[in-house]
Structure 1
Amino acid sequence: MPPRANWKGFLRLSLVTCPVALYPATSDSEKISFNQIHRSTGNRIKYLKVDAETGEEVAPDDIMKGYKVDSDSYIEVTKDELDAIALESTRTIDIDQFVPKSEIDELYLVRPYFIVPDGKVGHDAYAVIRETIRSLDKVALARVVLTNREHVIALEARDNGLLGMLLRYPYEVRDAAEYFDDIQDVKITKDMLDLAKHIVEQKSGHFQPEGFEDHYEAALTELINQKRNGTPLAAKARPKGDNVVDLMEALRRSIAGDGKAGKLADAKAPAVSVAKLSGAVAASGKPVKAKKPRKAAAGQKEMLLPISGSRAKEARVEAGKPPPRPVSKARKAG
């Protein structure tokens, strides 16, 4: 079942308009998530909205919005007042400008959305807008209201549709100079740079996201499966960073080892001659072939092992653990 649209309205380029829907282009639903459980009863924890002073639960109809002006004073804003200032972009994505994609700083990128025609009408107008954007090799800047706030969105042609990327406002982007100005200006020798470049060439390849592995997600899956089967859990040693004293020696050992930058080889590994290395790199003129990425791991639902209640109980008994305490349904508060 496809996800629900986050927004429905109209896409407009001057007088050309078509109905569209926005769908999130990414999802975290496949990641393992946890519930909070009361240790004593085994019941799930439930969050309630309570009055900060009296501690009593407050009904949704009795809750309104307020802007804090000092320690104990608020300006109340009603839903009708918010509706009264509703912007046109609440229902319309109005294209304002076309700009080169290369001019958009990555710091301004927030979240991608797929923009598709909504219904059976308007496909012609949608195609005109899409192909206009594609032919100019630019992105279209527009405005859209999501979660009651107006956002700038950059539209670009992608396959047979449109990709919309939410952008940050300038006040949301921090000044890099505040963080980078104190970095020391260090002189790098040519020998160090040659060695470092060779390490990069050894690890060069192409962008293949299907080869990405979420190691933490895999570790969570292994942990859950071990607990399901009552398997004893063995503590794993935490990785320790090496204290690099001689940067040049660290670069040499990186190459003399298994080619993985940052992982130092044994201290007895032979050093690599910088002269020979420079000549070899110049002679080859191309990087070492990258290793073929491993096949992406299956989704969490496929990795988690099903285990029946009786098998789980038997496994825990064999491991010397008591059977799990039955979890009762959460009682309603109050």
Structure 2
Amino acid sequence: MAPRANWKGFLRLSLVTCPVALYPATSESEKISFNQLNRTTGHRIKYLKVDADTGDEVPNEDIVKGYEVEKGQFIEVTKEELEEVALESTRTIEIDEFVDRSDIDPRYLIRPYYLRPDGKVGHDAFAVIRETIREMDKVAIGRVVLTSREHIIALEARDKGLIGTLLRYPYEVRDPAEYFDDIQDVKVTKDMLDLAKHIVNQKAGSFEPDKFEDHYETALVDLINQKRAGKVIRPKERPKGENVVDLMDALRKSVGGAAKEVAAQKKPAKAKKATAGQKEMLMSIAGKRPAKEAASKKPPGRSQRKSA
């Protein structure tokens, strides 16, 4: 089942309108997450909303938004007043213009969404807008209100739907001069550049996401499995950065190292041997157990907490 839509409304190009729904294109729910615990009791930590001065807990119905104009002085803004600021983009994505994909600076990209028709009507109008964007090889720029904020959204044709990427406003992008101005001007010789280019050519390939493994996530699974098995966790030696004395020598050695790395990648990789209990942990964390099987099994009781 597809996740619940983050937004529902209308997509409009001039007089062509269709109902659409916006869904998150990415998810981090598969990643391992931790709870904060009381070291003494092993119980989870609970957060309370309290008055900063009195320390008393404040119920949700008594909590309002406020903008601090001076230290300790706030202008209160109610939910009803915020709703009065409602813009047309709250319910409609109006396509304002079309631009080339190369015109959009990567710094302005926030996150992608899937845009599809909402319901059984409007598929014809949606297809017209989608195919126009595809045939013109353009990106459609509009606006949409998400999480009580208006965002710029860039729409691109993808398969039978649209990819909508939220964009930042200029005031949200920092000036690179603040970070780059004090970088020294270094003259790179042709020999150095030629060696570096040779390394690049040896490592050249196409971007295939399936080739990449989240090593930190794998290490977390291994850590949790070891603790479940009652093993003592010992710190590993951290890699030390080498002090490069001769840059040309380092480049020459890198050329040889890159060649060996490419040769090693061409060999079929051996299957990784799972540690004791790792398969069970991976199934539990990654949620790979079939839904029917998971539903038929009773949830396990609270396991006893183990410490390293």
Answer whether TM exceeds 0.5 for this pair. yes
Equivalence for 1:96: 96
Alpha-carbon separation, structure 1, partners of 2:13 and 2:280: 40
TM-score normalised by length of structure 1: 0.80
Alpha-carbon separation, structure 2, partners of 1:62 and 1:295: 60
Matches within 5 A, 1:266-305: 291-292=265-266, 301-302=282-283
Cα offset for 1:302?
2.6
Equivalent residue letter for 1:183: I
Alpha-carbon separation, structure 2, partners of 1:290 and 1:155: 41
Alpha-carbon separation, structure 2, partners of 1:215 and 1:296: 16
Matches within 5 A, 1:19-168: 19-168=19-168
Q: Which runs of 5+ in 1 are unaligned?
A: 262-287, 307-312, 314-322, 326-334
Equivalent residue letter for 2:224: I
Percent identity between the aligned chains?
70
Cα offset for 1:30?
0.5
TM-score normalised by length of structure 2: 0.86
Q: Which runs of 5+ in 2 are unaligned?
A: 273-278, 290-302
Equivalent residue letter for 2:21: A
Q: Does the CA contact (< 8 Å) of 1:19 and 1:119 recur in 2? A: yes
**Secondary structure class of the residue paired with 1:157:** strand
What is the aligned-residue RMSD (CA, Å)?
A: 2.7
- CA gap of 1:83–1:171, structure 2 versus 1, over 3 A, is same
Cα offset for 1:84?
1.1
Count how many residue pairs are aligned between Structure 1 and Structure 2.
286
Alpha-carbon separation, structure 1, partners of 2:285 and 2:119: 38
Alpha-carbon separation, structure 2, partners of 1:163 and 1:214: 25
- CA gap of 1:78–1:23, structure 2 versus 1, over 3 A, is same
Equivalent residue letter for 2:283: E
Cα offset for 1:9?
0.6
Q: Does the CA contact (< 8 Å) of 1:204 and 1:290 recur in 2? A: no
Q: Does the CA contact (< 8 Å) of 1:30 and 1:300 recur in 2? A: no
**Secondary structure class of the residue paired with 1:141:** strand
**Secondary structure class of the residue paired with 1:134:** helix
- CA gap of 1:303–1:244, structure 2 versus 1, over 3 A, is farther
**Secondary structure class of the residue paired with 1:145:** strand
- CA gap of 1:48–1:239, structure 2 versus 1, over 3 A, is same
Q: Does the CA contact (< 8 Å) of 1:211 and 1:294 recur in 2? A: no
Equivalence for 1:240: 240
More deviation in 176-185 or 25-34? Answer: 176-185
**Secondary structure class of the residue paired with 1:202:** helix
- CA gap of 1:16–1:164, structure 2 versus 1, over 3 A, is same
Alpha-carbon separation, structure 1, partners of 2:40 and 2:280: 33
Alpha-carbon separation, structure 1, partners of 2:260 and 2:184: 27
